[in-house]
């Protein structure tokens, strides 16, 4: 019985080995591709998770900011409710009194009245800020009506003095020339505007002020 040719078996083995190698290579490629796809999907999921986390943190921060703002507004409202209401100031400036007097004088003239308006103070004289009370013959008026009442009481004296407002400016200038150097020397650290305020307060009370001259003083001078 003749022997089989051994070369045929080796060819078959080689072919089979090649086939197995190709199969293994294909299998390896499939596994690598599958693994690559897996990691791609995992990266996407990680990015989505991180994005969701960032959004969640932002929402928390926004909510905290809103709560802080609302609390601040609520505190302000409570403070406004607790705070006592501001009362309207009853003080009145000399210019307001003068304007009211002129207004009433015009109304009186329209009715044929002979009401005489006594000026509070020469408008040309320097008037410092925050001087809201009127002092006339020792009387203090803090409202228009009070000032007018005081002026009516002292109207006779003012009439006897024959319009002191006409010599008010000259008297004030002379008063300032005499007393301003003294005040500047006594208060070297004060500004000129502050010194003039002090001077004006002295002028309001000074007997050199024509508005402060009583009828008896005027008669003595004359």
Partners of 136 in beta bridges:
139
pLDDT interval class at 115 (50, 70, 90): very low
Pick from 51-55, 149-153, 216-220 the range whose average pLDDT is largest: 51-55
Identify the sign of the CA torsion 120, 121, 124, 129.
negative
Pick the range with the lowest mean pLDDT from 31-35, 75-79, 120-124, 168-172: 120-124
Q: Which SS3 state, helix, strand or coil, does residue 220 take?
A: helix
Task: Provide the mean pLDDT of the chain.
Answer: 72
Question: Quick count: other Cβ atoms within 10 Å of Cβ 68?
Answer: 10
Residue 1 has pLDDT above 80, yes or no: no
Determine whether 143 is exposed, middle or buried from the number of CB atoms within 10 Å of its CB (0-12, 13-18, 19+): middle
Q: pTM for the full model?
A: 0.27
pLDDT digits (tens, 9 = 90+) for 60-111: 899 988 888 988 888 888 888 876 665 555 455 667 777 787 888 788 776 5
Helices 94-110 & 144-153, crossing angle to 10 degrees? 70
pLDDT of amino acid 162 = 55
Residue 130 has pLDDT above 50, yes or no: no
Question: Percentage of the chain surpassing pLDDT 90?
Answer: 10
């Amino acid at each position: 019985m003749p022997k089989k040719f051994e070369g045929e078996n080796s060819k078959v083995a080689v072919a089979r080995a090649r086939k197995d190698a190709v199969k293994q290579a294909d299998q390896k490629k499939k596994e690598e591709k599958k693994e690559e796809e897996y990691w791609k999907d995992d990266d996407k999921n990680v990015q989505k998770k991180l994005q969701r986390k960032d959004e969640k943190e932002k929402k928390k921060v926004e909510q905290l900011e809103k709560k802080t703002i609302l609390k601040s507004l609520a505190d302000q409202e409570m403070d406004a409710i607790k705070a006592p209401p501001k009362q309207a100031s009853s003080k009145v400036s000399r210019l307001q009194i003068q304007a009211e007097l002129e207004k009433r004088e015009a109304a009186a003239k329209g009715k044929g009245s002979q009401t005489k308006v006594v000026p509070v103070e020469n408008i040309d004289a320097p008037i410092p800020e925050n001087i809201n009370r009127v002092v006339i013959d020792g009387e203090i008026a803090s409202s228009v009506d009070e000032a007018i009442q005081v002026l009516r009481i002292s109207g006779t004296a003012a009439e006897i003095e024959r319009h002191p407002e006409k010599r008010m400016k000259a008297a004030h200038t002379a008063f300032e020339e005499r007393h301003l150097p003294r005040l500047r020397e006594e208060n070297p650290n004060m500004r000129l505007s502050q010194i003039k305020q002090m001077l004006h307060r002295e002028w309001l009370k000074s007997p050199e002020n024509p508005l402060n001259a009583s009828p008896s003083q005027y008669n003595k001078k004359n």
